[in-house]
Structure 1
Amino acid sequence: MTGQDTTHGPVLCLSGVRRIRGQGENRFVLDVRNLRVPQSQAICVTGPSGCGKSTLLDLIGLVLKPDQGEEFVFTPNDGRKIDLQAAWNNRQEAELSAIRAQYLGYILQTGGIFPFLSVDENIRVSQRLLGQGNEEVVQHLIERLNISHLLKKKPKALSIGERQRVCIARALAHQPSLILADEPTASLDRKNADRVMDLFMMLVQDFGTSAIIVSHEKGLARHFGLREVPIEVKSLKSGKGTVSVLEMSDG
């Protein structure tokens, strides 16, 4: 399996990106001061529940519009630089949707696969929506994840660990530039969590893709040798509400 071209810079660059929610005592600010996601690498964003990890993924996944942003640039595997902040400012919702479908993959804590489709159909959804038909990629995923015996089954017949493996296959089938993984092992016991993460990291390497994994487990990044980027929660200067600060060091 051939990886993606990694000759250009980071796949994602954010600085001065903010999202504000609520008012008064319930005011919450996610302040992304600096985030750089290297090409063909995975990073792990950590922080306690409620600190804004899912909000961060919604921003990067182009589901939430930033309230402000100095730099929000995406460089997918075709090498073109896309100014996502400008696209939001110019209300280019159709283009943002197309970027999300073509270049991003998602792995959710609960799997998020379609219950009315078979495993095989779930894996191929993203390819079919994009008019792709890369059988080599599909077969590589099925073999690597050891799910060939599950292809005709519906999700309700799968264990939680099996669902997560199917979700990984679906997320990678269209060969996205960036995978967003929201607490991907939170529903699994330690043994199955380690197995699923090992498979996921192996496939990230196979495909040469980039990944952002968010987790409340501070030991996850260390266990899998990932760069950890912590979110720090502080009180707002006004004393009303909180701000979650994400600032990636240069190291």
Structure 2
Amino acid sequence: MLDIKNLLVRRGEGALAHHVRLPHLHIGAGKILAITGESGSGKSTLLEAIGLLLAPVELERFRLGPAGAQEDIAQLLSGDDQPALAAVRSRHLGFILQSGGLLPFLSVRDNISLPRRLLGMSANSAHVDHAVEVLRLQGLLDRQPQALSIGERQRVACVRAIAHEPLLLLADEPTAALDPHSARRLFELLLSLVSSMGLSALVVSHDWALLKDFGLPRLGAISRQGETLFEPMD
């Protein structure tokens, strides 16, 4: 589903530049991979590059999609084809941000349905209904984001991220604002949705205990002078 080779991203310039390097990454459909590392190691930077929000300075291969129908993202990046890259982001990627990122002037229901509406998809979705039920959001659907707790907003953001049934889910510390019980329920939901919908997912997380409990494979940060290398970890 996701195949990347020799991705290099640079933050800053000159002596202050820091490089984030990903030699290789392959994730199949229905699989979830955790990205771990110390604070400031470049986990979010890597996620932004994979999410097409940050252009790499080097890239050998970047393909997304099912076998036989993969899109050559590296070619789009090389040609700086911004309309095509925007189309990939809106249709094939789902984002869960640390801040939630909900639109304050829309209800919870409308925040969740917005990605589907923008893509001309049907408003009805069994996946969305299941996610709303598991995360106990039924009683919050008509509220505005400002009337929700931080944890409630994050749960809504998770449902919104999968509402349009993307190919790849990118989550940046999705459980950071949740209590342990809600964090576990959220991870259970993500694993269930990734499996049932055949998504691929990358989840940045500092919750080592939770990752260990769920047995998630990890892409870990190896930091050295001026560079962070992300490699598979046992």
TM-score (norm 2): 0.93
RMSD: 1.8
Where structure 2 has 5 or more consecutive residues not aligned to the other structure, the ranges are: none
Q: Structure 1 residue 79: deviation in Å?
A: 5.0
User: Is 1:219 aligned to 2:209, yes or no?
Assistant: yes
Measure the CA separation in 2 of the matches of 1:79 and 1:135: 29
Aligned to 1:204: 194
Q: Structure 1 residue 78: deviation in Å?
A: 8.4
SS at match of 1:66: coil
Aligned to 2:154: 164
Q: 1:123 to 1:79 in 2, by over 3 A?
A: farther
Measure the CA separation in 2 of the matches of 1:14 and 1:78: 14
Where structure 1 has 5 or more consecutive residues not aligned to the other structure, the ranges are: 1-10, 236-241
Q: Structure 1 residue 143: deviation in Å?
A: 2.5
Q: Structure 1 residue 191: deviation in Å?
A: 2.6
Amino acid at match of 1:91: D
Amino acid at match of 1:72: F
Amino acid at match of 2:213: H
Aligned to 1:88: 77
223-232 or 201-210, which deviates more:
201-210
Aligned to 1:103: 92
Contact 1:36 1:248 in 2 (8 A): no
Aligned to 1:244: 228
Measure the CA separation in 1 of the matches of 2:220 and 2:149: 31
Identical positions, percent: 40
Q: 1:229 to 1:157 in 2, by over 3 A?
A: same
Match of 1:153 among 143, 159, 172: 143
33-42 or 213-222, which deviates more:
213-222
Aligned to 1:193: 183
Q: Structure 1 residue 94: deviation in Å?
A: 0.5
Match of 2:49 among 42, 59, 64: 59
Q: Structure 1 residue 162: deviation in Å?
A: 1.6
Q: 1:166 to 1:15 in 2, by over 3 A?
A: same
Q: How does 1:168-179 map to 2 (within 5 A)?
A: 168-179=158-169
Q: How many residues align?
A: 233
User: Is 1:40 aligned to 2:30, yes or no?
Assistant: yes
Aligned to 1:5: none
Q: 1:158 to 1:181 in 2, by over 3 A?
A: same
Measure the CA separation in 2 of the matches of 1:23 and 1:114: 34
Q: Structure 1 residue 24: deviation in Å?
A: 4.1
Measure the CA separation in 2 of the matches of 1:188 and 1:144: 15
Contact 2:154 2:177 in 1 (8 A): no
Aligned to 1:7: none
Q: 1:146 to 1:78 in 2, by over 3 A?
A: farther
SS at match of 1:54: helix
Measure the CA separation in 2 of the matches of 1:136 and 1:216: 31
Measure the CA separation in 2 of the matches of 1:139 and 1:79: 31
Q: Structure 1 residue 205: deviation in Å?
A: 2.5
117-126 or 209-218, which deviates more:
209-218
| Deviation digits for residues 73-108 of structure 1 (CA, Å, limit 9, x no counterpart) | 112x58511111111111211011001100110111
